[in-house]
Structure 1
Amino acid sequence: MNNKDNGTNRNFKQGMYNSIVIVIVIAIVILLNLFVGQLDIKIDLTKENIYTLTDETIALANELEDEIQIYFLAKENTEYEVLQNVINEYGKLPHITTQWKDPELYPQFASQYTDSEITGNDVIVVNKSNNESKFIPFEDMYIQDYSINYSTYNYDYNNILDAEGQITSAIQYVTSGVRTKMYVVTAHGETPIETKVSELIAKANVVIEEFDVKSATAVPEDCDILMMNGPVEDITDDELTMYKDYLDKGGKAMFSVAYTPEPTDNYKELIEYYGVNIQDAIVCEQEGYFLQNYPTYLLAGFVSVTDEISADYDDSNFVIAPVSKALSVIDSSELRSTLTVKQIVASSEESFAKINAESETIEKEEGDLDGPFDVVVQASDTYKGATSKVVIFASPFMFKDDFVDYYSNSNVDLLIDSIDWMKDGQESSIAIPQRNLDDTYLEVPMESATLWGIITIIVVPLCFLIVGFIVWFLRRQR
């Protein structure tokens, strides 16, 4: 009888112990959840980190001296949550505060900053120290793009987020107080600057305008930077004189060179005026130094680190330079004493340049030129107290939109850094690329999915079975 009572008491105590342990564990879990909730810890699992601000934005905020206010204009219950989350991240940075404003409750609020129509989910960035402001419409931050799928002949639609790019650009805009204007020459069949690259330049707070030189007698007075992207027709004698005069007075310019079947002697003279010789040949690379299957699409590395442009690049960085002309810096003994020329990017030692662009073979032939060749060159010339600055690119195709999405190259970064160099000591520009919203789900590689499937479906249940069997077996032995 006593043994039965002892067994009952033992079972009762064991049950009480188990119950207490369960209650304690549940209490710990609840308290832990409350604690983590107070910490506001969130993990961005999206493929393109759309909710995570870049290091460039964070560094900009840390260096701010002015107080910035970001207003999010949206009617209640119509807020675009993705944009709202990004704006909330800005509110966590120093010197930046965010505030939601309902246009229906405050119909006149936006009019003090913009004359534009408020459509909802718009943003206004205000510098409270100098009252500078910039209005960002929703359509500039959320972009629906489409392209034709030639395999199905249907439209493929893309949903693009450019919230951080636009807001960070606006912060720089309201704090810098300087506006840069770049004129792009469009009279000789130049390669156009495409949409995405133009938008990145604009986010660097550079205003782009076309310059039809045929109807002009001088470079516009408000031109901060002149760009001529690979003319396929030669410039006139008058243009050559006009460009030299502009540069001699301290002008800034970016030139690129395109392969042309017709001679461009005046344009060559303009490039040579800044210490770079152009050969009528197309550069080809050896295996490992070109884009797969495209020997004329160079993967060119940085050969010189200059404080002005390429200080942040190293051996791991490269640019893609399709169909590059063979450039070479003229020997310093032949240059005027006021001119300084520096090589930045070059092809490999094994590269060569084909004289006959119509050749049926991509292999090196007799008469072809030995490399390496310069791909990007910077030059500066101080004349009568004015310093001109020029950057020369071997290909006009380096700034195609296709390369913006090829994230491992430095094409657009180098373009923006060249623009910054020409701004004469102004702060570095920030041009953050757009992000694709269509792939924001968490992707798990097939190998990882298989591994975790085996672990969760087979290994873990098997471990429970083994542990259960051991416990059962030990109890049977008592």
Structure 2
Amino acid sequence: MRNKKQSAHRKFTISPRLRYGAISTAIVALVIAALILINLATTNLETRYGWRGDFSFNAVTTQSETTKQILHDLKRPVKIYALFERGEEDQPLLELLNRYSAASDMVTWEQTPPSLNPLLLTRFSSSTTNVSAQNLIVYCEETDRYRVLTATDFVTLAVDTDSGSYNVSGLAYEQQITSAIAYVTRDTVPTLHIATGHGELGEDSLSAFTTLLTNNHYDVAFEKLSDMTFASGDVLCILSPVKDYTDAEMDIIRAYVQGGGAVLFSCDYTDPIENMPNVLSLLRSYGFLPESGLVMASPDETDTFYNNNRLALLPEMQATDVTLEMMLNGRTAMLMVASRGFDPSPESDNSLLVDAVLTTSAKSYLVDTTASRLSITQSDSDKTGPFALALQAKRFTDTGDVSRAFIIGSSALLTEEQLFTMTDGEEFLVRAVSFLTGDDSIDTSIMVKTALRPGLSVNALSLGSVVLVGLPILVLLAAVIILLPRRNL
């Protein structure tokens, strides 16, 4: 009996089925344990170093070289509060914040549910800023400067030319966060002083423009000339006044520009510039010579106007300080609606350099709006182009300073948000202001990531697609390798 039990036990312990089954189980357990350890290790490495590759169709969590450089140069710590309730997180945004903190020890962030910390909302709310859930607060304690980013800040819109409606076209996570970090950590922030009191464009009409400025590291103040105090890098904005400045106000402006102050002008075709000799004299001192009338595109040149509207001009961009980099990057789409024209070739002298920035074609013409004219059809007496629609100037003053000026012939570019969101007007305006401040550190080259997944095509193959297809095949091969020996038992 004892020999029979030993024989049965020996047969059981050496059973091939049991032996291979135990080995397979052990291998599976080891693989699972290894995968868990690898996952924990890679998660830790991703949190600390941001090593994980982004193979999504829009690479929304991938940082540009501009962002990397700004983070590398940071000298002040930045704290980012992500105001999301648990379970309502914007995962791509939070993953991108991990990349920021991994790229620089100066950047930290935390998720803060608003319901658990209402005092945080109060701390960063103001008369112009309302902090709420799903916002980001980017804060630098050393400068005590902060910026609140809302969900709408992270998307860009594009016009559907067929329906006339606006649709989400891009994601601006990186662009907005990097811009906010640069803003809150700057030593000084240039201020654009927008003059009031003479019928100029006001806060309501310029809301889109002021938002663009604050999103690109500038402060904005609407003030009377007599109340303005200028610091280095500030800009005086004289935007479409309809009443002339007094001699006393002109003395303030002359003293400002004599010391190297910069001026941004807009001058619409409806502005009574002929009845404002002081303003006209200031424009001419920079070589800005306004024409009288409304610029119209020729019906023979359909590529010079938009959507069958010859008032909606598609100007030609010239290579200048403001536009050269835009032209190199192919970002030349501009739209100027109901514009005044200027002499495109004003005379420069030893102390003045003036250049046309945007111009029309030689077939464009001026419609005299002061006459009792009922038609915009070109007549033999109409002056023909080309005309300048925007110009830049540098004047060397007696004190050895350089006063810069920039003018546009249509304030619609400042007041109508769709004109710079549907074109390259947004970058154009930011670069114009950067030219005026003399600030070369402002970089607007961070591209918005597309929000729409591109259609599948033969040419759409990427590393992510290879991984997506290849990983299941590898798992299948591993299963075959493990199961084939068991099949032969």
Q: TM-score, normalised by structure 2?
A: 0.66
- Structure 2 counterpart of 1:351: 364
- Structure 1 counterpart of 2:229: 220
Q: CA distance change for structure 1 residues 405 and 422 in 2, over 3 Å: closer, same or farther?
A: closer
1:370 to 384, 388, 393: 384
Structure 2: tracts of 5 or more residues without a match: 1-23, 43-50, 157-165, 458-489
- Structure 2 counterpart of 1:264: 275
- 1:414 paired with 2:412, answer no
What is the deviation of 1:401?
A: 0.6
| CA distance in structure 2 between the aligned counterparts of 1:91 and 1:383, rounded to whole angstroms | 49
What is the deviation of 1:226?
A: 1.0
What is the deviation of 1:137?
A: 4.0
Residues 154, 173 of structure 2: 8 Å contact kept: no
Partner of 1:421: helix, strand, or coil? helix
- 1:395 paired with 2:390, answer no
What is the deviation of 1:283?
A: 1.3
| CA distance in structure 2 between the aligned counterparts of 1:275 and 1:380, rounded to whole angstroms | 10
- Structure 2 counterpart of 1:205: 217
Residues 288, 343 of structure 2: 8 Å contact kept: yes
What is the deviation of 1:372?
A: 0.8
Q: CA distance change for structure 1 residues 368 and 102 in 2, over 3 Å: closer, same or farther?
A: closer
What pairs with 1:82-161 in structure 2 (closer than 5 Å)?
Answer: 82-91=92-101, 93=103, 97-102=107-112, 121=134, 123-125=136-138, 131-132=142-143, 134-137=145-148, 139=150
- Structure 1 counterpart of 2:314: 299
Residues 124, 133 of structure 1: 8 Å contact kept: no
| CA distance in structure 2 between the aligned counterparts of 1:126 and 1:330, rounded to whole angstroms | 47
Q: Which amino acid aligns with 1:229?
A: L
Q: Which has the higher helix share?
A: 2
Q: CA distance change for structure 1 residues 252 and 234 in 2, over 3 Å: closer, same or farther?
A: same
- 1:246 paired with 2:246, answer no
| CA distance in structure 1 between the aligned counterparts of 2:241 and 2:448, rounded to whole angstroms | 29
Q: CA distance change for structure 1 residues 284 and 173 in 2, over 3 Å: closer, same or farther?
A: same
| CA distance in structure 1 between the aligned counterparts of 2:83 and 2:405, rounded to whole angstroms | 43
Partner of 1:271: helix, strand, or coil? helix
Q: CA distance change for structure 1 residues 70 and 384 in 2, over 3 Å: closer, same or farther?
A: same
Residues 218, 242 of structure 1: 8 Å contact kept: no
What is the deviation of 1:391?
A: 0.6
What is the deviation of 1:373?
A: 1.0
Partner of 1:390: helix, strand, or coil? strand
Provide, for residues 379-432 of structure 1, a one-character-per-residue CA deviation record: whole Å limited to 9, x for no partner.
Answer: 1222223321111112111222112320xx332212211221222345115497
- 1:338 paired with 2:348, answer no
What pairs with 1:281-296 in structure 2 (closer than 5 Å)?
Answer: 281-285=293-297, 286-296=301-311
- Structure 2 counterpart of 1:148: none
Q: Which amino acid aligns with 1:182?
A: L
- Structure 2 counterpart of 1:81: 91
Residues 406, 436 of structure 2: 8 Å contact kept: no
What is the deviation of 1:220?
A: 2.9
Provide, for residues 363-386 of structure 1, a one-character-per-residue CA deviation record: whole Å limited to 9, x for no partner.
Answer: 321211121111221112222233
1:405 to 403, 421, 431: 421
Residues 78, 181 of structure 2: 8 Å contact kept: yes
- Structure 2 counterpart of 1:321: 336
| CA distance in structure 2 between the aligned counterparts of 1:104 and 1:171, rounded to whole angstroms | 22
Q: CA distance change for structure 1 residues 42 and 393 in 2, over 3 Å: closer, same or farther?
A: same
- 1:231 paired with 2:247, answer no
Partner of 1:416: helix, strand, or coil? helix
- Structure 1 counterpart of 2:46: none
Same amino acid, percent of matched pairs: 19
What pairs with 1:157-172 in structure 2 (closer than 5 Å)?
Answer: 163-172=173-182
Provide, for residues 423-463 of structure 1, a one-character-per-residue CA deviation record: whole Å limited to 9, x for no partner.
Answer: 2345115497999xxx9564759xx8xxxxxxxxxxxxxxx
Structure 1: tracts of 5 or more residues without a match: 1-22, 146-155, 449-478
What is the deviation of 1:362?
A: 3.3
| CA distance in structure 1 between the aligned counterparts of 2:409 and 2:114, rounded to whole angstroms | 54
Q: CA distance change for structure 1 residues 380 and 296 in 2, over 3 Å: closer, same or farther?
A: same
Residues 169, 452 of structure 2: 8 Å contact kept: no
Q: Which amino acid aligns with 1:293?
A: N
Partner of 2:200: helix, strand, or coil? coil
What is the deviation of 1:268?
A: 1.8
Q: CA distance change for structure 1 residues 364 and 84 in 2, over 3 Å: closer, same or farther?
A: same
Partner of 1:326: helix, strand, or coil? coil
Partner of 1:324: helix, strand, or coil? coil
Q: CA distance change for structure 1 residues 54 and 365 in 2, over 3 Å: closer, same or farther?
A: farther
Residues 182, 226 of structure 1: 8 Å contact kept: yes
| CA distance in structure 2 between the aligned counterparts of 1:142 and 1:261, rounded to whole angstroms | 34
Residues 141, 163 of structure 1: 8 Å contact kept: no
Q: CA distance change for structure 1 residues 269 and 299 in 2, over 3 Å: closer, same or farther?
A: same
What is the deviation of 1:326?
A: 1.9
Q: Which amino acid aligns with 2:441?
A: E
Partner of 2:93: helix, strand, or coil? helix
Partner of 2:312: helix, strand, or coil? strand
Deviates more, 1:361-370 or 1:77-86: 77-86
Q: CA distance change for structure 1 residues 261 and 377 in 2, over 3 Å: closer, same or farther?
A: closer
Partner of 1:422: helix, strand, or coil? helix
Q: CA distance change for structure 1 residues 184 and 434 in 2, over 3 Å: closer, same or farther?
A: farther
- Structure 2 counterpart of 1:423: 437
| CA distance in structure 2 between the aligned counterparts of 1:276 and 1:42, rounded to whole angstroms | 49
Residues 275, 329 of structure 1: 8 Å contact kept: no
Q: What count of residue pairs does the alignment treat as equivalent?
A: 395
Q: How big is the alpha-carbon RMSD for the aligned residues of Structure 1 and Structure 2?
A: 4.5
| CA distance in structure 2 between the aligned counterparts of 1:441 and 1:385, rounded to whole angstroms | 52
Residues 134, 170 of structure 1: 8 Å contact kept: no
What is the deviation of 1:118?
A: 7.8
Q: Which amino acid aligns with 1:275?
A: G
| CA distance in structure 2 between the aligned counterparts of 1:414 and 1:93, rounded to whole angstroms | 30
What is the deviation of 1:63?
A: 5.3
Q: CA distance change for structure 1 residues 201 and 140 in 2, over 3 Å: closer, same or farther?
A: farther
| CA distance in structure 2 between the aligned counterparts of 1:417 and 1:138, rounded to whole angstroms | 22
Q: TM-score, normalised by structure 1?
A: 0.67
